Chains A and B, each alone.
Chain A
Amino acid sequence: MATRSGFEKHYPEVFEKFEFVTVFDLLIKYIKEGRIKLDKTRFKGPATYHDPCNYGRKAQKVFGHGYFDEPRWILSQCVENWIDLYPATMNQICCGGGGGTLVNSYNEERTYYGRRKMDQIRATGAGMLVVPCHSCHGQFNSIKKAYDMEGLEVKYLWELVADCMIV
């Protein structure tokens, strides 16, 4: 988000010269081209998926495309049994770790902020939460104990892909 916004504002010429790929498009390319093979039986689920603000709602507004379908397709290649949070996509609830709050020392506020998200996750009964964002990942691991959800496994989307690869 920050890098792409910075390029669009300050270095628009790079879009003529180079190609750019998101983590989602790259994973989809590898899977569709058969460059990586995935085993769907390793994780039984149920899993769930959290839409990061920057890849979803904010990308939709700023760049005209929110990454909602792509991560869900990738997740479906890795796990059969997964459940969406409600609400999700454009109406998703922030994890509470965005905007620098993980490193601005407002830890009590940040933990409280996450309460609605944790309720959503609990409601799915999922044991694994898949996220494609370092801030969300850090936030969930930081606050899950405060919500008696220490058993929740928080996994990067690309970590799940790597763990499902047949090599």
Chain B
Amino acid sequence: MTAKDIIHMNELDHSRFKSWGFSQDFCVTCGLCSSSCPATGIDGFDPRKLIRMLSLGLESEVVASRWPWICTLCAKCENVCPMEIDIADAVRRVRSLRDRDKVPGNIHKGLEAALETGNNLRLPKDDYVFILEDVAEEIAEEPGYEGFTVPIDKKGANILTTIHNKLVNTHTEDLKHWWRIFHAAKEDWTVPSENWEGTNWAYFTGDDEAMKIMTGRIVDHMNKLEVKTLMWPE
């Protein structure tokens, strides 16, 4: 916001976000949040200003602002807030008010892909299985890992794992660390062949409905594969 965008008093609406339960109206404007935030100053952002905009009901301004997307939701601000305002959750909620086609970058696009295809990359099942088996064959060639295979959709396994999409994209070498550990520990584990996405970008876009769908898929895997334990996605 610049000086030429002066807001007139009659444009304020203190009741606009009253129903939000983040205690944003308790703000005493002390500035501890701004002092602690590593993003303070970037493009004029600081968390105090954003929280004040919510209290004043400046909806169109805060939703159109780049600030909620500069914030990393790290919660350093609320850790020092004397009024215990849930600043990071408030920022996430502001993100949810953005038109979905105006969510910056790839976060909504990746989430849309995941909702439609089961993963952020739109990676077809055959290609995915090929990549996993190819990496498993490489491990099996290492001394001490002879006979290693990747147990896809193994019913009754002890541990269910998910996959971060970058590990079947540009970082396949990083699939190997946990697999080596599982092999050495003689763990009975599995990984799903479909809906394997371990990230949940709905958390970033503020989309609670999508978050429910994405987490529900993991619940479906646990039930269908009759696993005992879920390893929380790293």
Tell me the smallest distance from the CB of A140 to a CB of chain B, in Å.
Answer: 14
A163 to B214, CA, bound (A): 32
A117 touches B38 (CB 8 A): yes
A5 touches B219 (CB 8 A): no
Tell me the smallest distance from the CB of A58 to a CB of chain B, in Å.
Answer: 5
Q: In this complex, what residue of B is CB-closest to A1?
A: B203
Tell me the smallest distance from the CB of A55 to a CB of chain B, in Å.
Answer: 9
* Centre residue among A2, A97, A105, A159 by max chain B CB count within 10 A: A2
Question: B72 — which chain A residues lie within 8 A by C-beta?
Answer: 53, 94, 96-99, 101, 113
Say if the beta carbon of A64 comes within 8 Å of chain B.
Answer: no
A30 to B178, CA, bound (A): 12
Number of interface residues of A (CB under 8 A): 61
Number of interface residues of B (CB under 8 A): 62
Say if the beta carbon of B106 comes within 8 Å of chain A.
Answer: yes
Say if the beta carbon of A86 comes within 8 Å of chain B.
Answer: no
Of A10-18, A42-50, A75-83, the one with at least 4 CB within 8 A of chain B: A10-18
Say if the beta carbon of A133 comes within 8 Å of chain B.
Answer: yes
Say if the beta carbon of B104 comes within 8 Å of chain A.
Answer: yes
Contact partner of B215 among A3, A17, A35, A61, CB < 8 A? A3
* Centre residue among B202, B229, B234 by max chain A CB count within 10 A: B234
Question: A91 — which chain B residues lie within 8 A by C-beta?
Answer: 76, 79
Tell me the smallest distance from the CB of A128 to a CB of chain B, in Å.
Answer: 15
Tell me the smallest distance from the CB of B140 to a CB of chain A, in Å.
Answer: 13
B185 touches A6 (CB 8 A): no
Contact partner of B66 among A7, A22, A98, A106, CB < 8 A? A106
B232 touches A103 (CB 8 A): no
Question: A97 — which chain B residues lie within 8 A by C-beta?
Answer: 72
Say if the beta carbon of B164 comes within 8 Å of chain A.
Answer: yes
Contact partner of B104 among A90, A105, A116, CB < 8 A? A105
Question: B203 — which chain A residues lie within 8 A by C-beta?
Answer: 1-2, 5, 100
Say if the beta carbon of B42 comes within 8 Å of chain A.
Answer: yes
Q: In this complex, what residue of B is CB-closest to A60?
A: B79
Contact partner of B231 among A1, A2, A26, A117, CB < 8 A? A26
A3 touches B200 (CB 8 A): yes
Of B15-23, B54-62, B204-212, the one with at least 4 CB within 8 A of chain A: B204-212
Contact partner of B76 among A26, A93, A163, CB < 8 A? A93
B205 touches A57 (CB 8 A): no
CB contact under 8 A between A109 and B42, given known A2-B203, A6-B214, A100-B205: yes
A132 to B159, CA, bound (A): 19
Chain A to chain B: the 9 pairs with minimum beta-carbon distance, closest first: A100-B204, A6-B215, A94-B74, A105-B105, A167-B144, A104-B105, A2-B203, A2-B200, A99-B73
11 new A-B contacts, CB < 8 A, other than A7-B219, A19-B230, A58-B75, are: A2-B233, A6-B212, A11-B215, A20-B230, A57-B74, A57-B76, A100-B105, A100-B205, A112-B42, A162-B176, A165-B184
Residues of chain A whose beta carbon lies under 8 Å from any beta carbon of chain B: 1-7, 9-11, 14, 17-23, 26-27, 30, 35-36, 53, 57-58, 61, 90-94, 96-101, 103-106, 109, 112-117, 132-134, 138, 156, 158-159, 161-163, 165, 167
